[in-house]
């Protein structure tokens, strides 16, 4: 019986499917196509940035030729007399962004540490989802809420105590109004918190557990473990998150334009109205009647682009410095 089965098995043809590989020159040709395609895609990003810069320079050239470098240091913004200077808007952009970072960074780090270190998993993921939802709210909704709720609340409950206790400082002098630099900075802080906290949460979660266990084994408390093992290990990611939030704050337009007051004046008081580069472009571009006026507004956009590029260069330098210092300290 076994011999019969063996003979029958031998008589049945066996289909053998051999995987045939393409010739070497064909595979290398595919690699070359892939490398070329990815290289072209990478260059397209640089070409897009270069084209944007060239377009802004070309369209703003009448203002560049008329005012030169004086445009960056002049505080005059008088469309009637065709006098334009970007200094009030550069000042407003930096001050409002600094207020936003001063408020948002501690809150974002607290949220990130709570979600990654303190809260249980079932609560952490639910709270993280709610925090991420804040980034999906349109900026005009933030602006409306700031105009009708946050601005009056700051005017009635925040600015009076600041003026009472710190009124000797020029920052907290002046009339109490619902629109101004302080309101713009606070609404920017609320808008960038989800970006910073989300990135920081992901950074802290990828810190190896051996880092935490080593600190706890040496007798560190949970707070000491966080400050000595978690935050230093993820410092490069934290810096990147802060720079991301700063970039978001620099370019925010609608919400800031609704609460900052849109005044082309430089004032030391945070209570007074001001303007930013993005807000003045949004508010006045439709009203620009002369070619020089349009060119001046486009040059403000060019200034904003330059600020963004400089910001990214500084961020890269900071991250590289932190990485090099950690390498010198740990050897890895």
Q: Is the pLDDT at 21 greater than 70, yes or no? A: no
- Structural domain ending residue among the three candidates 39, 59, 79: 59
Collapsing DSSP to helix, strand or coil, 149 comes out as helix
Q: Which residues contact 71 (CB under 8 A, 6 or more apart)?
A: 63, 64, 84, 85, 86, 296, 299
138: pLDDT strictly greater than 80: yes
Q: Minimal CA–CA distance to 188: which of 141, 128, 242, 255?
A: 255
Number of domains in the chain: 2
End-to-end CA, the chain: 69
Assess whether pLDDT exceeds 90 at residue 30.
no
Residue 25 in any domain: the answer is yes
Residues 132 and 229 in one domain: yes
Residues 217 and 134 in one domain: yes
Please indicate, yes or no, if residue 4 is contained in any of the structural domains.
Answer: no
Integer Cα distance of 260 and 246 in angstroms = 18
287/55: higher pLDDT = 55
User: Domain containing 26: what range?
Assistant: 21-59
115 plus 202 within the same structural domain: yes
Contact in structure between 201 and 113 (CB atoms under 8 Å): no
pLDDT digits (tens, 9 = 90+) for 193-248: 999 999 899 889 888 888 888 888 888 888 889 888 888 888 888 988 898 899 88
């Amino acid at each position: 019986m076994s011999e019969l089965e063996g003979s029958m098995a031998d008589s049945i043809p066996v289909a053998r499917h051999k995987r045939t590989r393409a010739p070497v020159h064909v595979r290398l040709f595919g690699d070359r196509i892939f490398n070329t395609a990815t290289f072209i895609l990478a260059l397209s990003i640089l070409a897009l940035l270069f084209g944007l810069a060239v377009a802004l320079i070309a369209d703003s050239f009448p203002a560049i030729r008329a005012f030169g470098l004086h445009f960056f240091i002049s505080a005059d913004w008088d469309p009637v007399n065709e006098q334009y200077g970007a200094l009030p808007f550069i000042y407003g952009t930096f001050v409002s962004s600094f207020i936003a970072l001063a408020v948002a960074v501690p809150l974002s780090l607290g949220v990130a540490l709570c979600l990654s270190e303190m809260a249980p998993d079932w609560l952490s993921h639910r709270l993280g989802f709610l925090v991420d939802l804040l980034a999906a709210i349109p900026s005009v909704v933030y602006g409306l809420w700031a105009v009708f709720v946050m601005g009056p609340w700051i005017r009635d409950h925040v600015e009076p105590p600041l003026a009472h206790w710190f009124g000797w400082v020029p920052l907290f002098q002046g009339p109490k109004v619902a629109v101004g630099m302080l309101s713009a900075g606070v609404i920017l802080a609320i808008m960038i918190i989800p970006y910073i906290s989300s990135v920081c949460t992901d950074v802290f979660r990828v810190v190896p557990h051996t880092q935490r266990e080593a600190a706890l084994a040496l007798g560190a408390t949970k707070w000491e473990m966080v400050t000595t093992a978690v935050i230093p290990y993820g410092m490069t990611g934290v810096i990147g998150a802060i720079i991301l939030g700063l970039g978001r704050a620099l370019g925010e337009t609608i919400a800031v334009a609704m609460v900052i007051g849109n005044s082309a004046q430089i004032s030391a008081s945070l209570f007074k109205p001001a303007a930013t580069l993005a807000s003045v472009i949004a508010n006045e571009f439709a009203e620009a009647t002369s070619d020089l006026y349009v060119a001046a507004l486009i040059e403000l956009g060019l200034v904003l682009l330059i600020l963004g590029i400089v910001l990214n260069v500084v961020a890269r330098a900071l991250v590289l410095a932190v990485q090099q210092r950690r390498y010198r300290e740990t050897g890895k």
